[in-house]
Amino acid sequence: MEVKDSNGNILSDGDSVHVIKDLKVKGMPTTLKRGNVIKNIRLTGSPEEVECRIGKSTVVLKASFLKKA
């Protein structure tokens, strides 16, 4: 299974990614701003989603809103 970012690059466990669009995350009071770096992502069972930690919470994000750093 290959997970690809918005540019078509293949993502793997432990990669760092940039957010390419402001995202309102359900359950969080703030939004993820464009350009934020998220480190140490984990792949899920879906080829369209990745799991990451933001602050103390674990969030699942769509890979189409991420760019490999």
Domain count of the fold of the chain: 1
Q: Show the domain range for 12.
A: 3-68
* Helix/strand/coil percent split, the chain, to 5: 5, 45, 50
SS3 48: coil
Per-residue confidence (pLDDT) for residue 3, from 0 to 100:
95
Per-residue confidence (pLDDT) for residue 28, from 0 to 100:
86
Q: Do residues 6 and 65 make contact, with C-beta atoms less than 8 angstroms apart?
A: yes
Q: What is the DSSP letter of 64?
A: G
Q: What value, to the nearest 5°, has the Cα angle with vertex 34 and ends 11 and 60? A: 50
CATH assignment at residue 50: 2.30.30.40
List pLDDT tens digits, range 1-60. 899 999 999 999 999 999 999 999 988 888 999 999 999 999 999 999 999 999 898 999
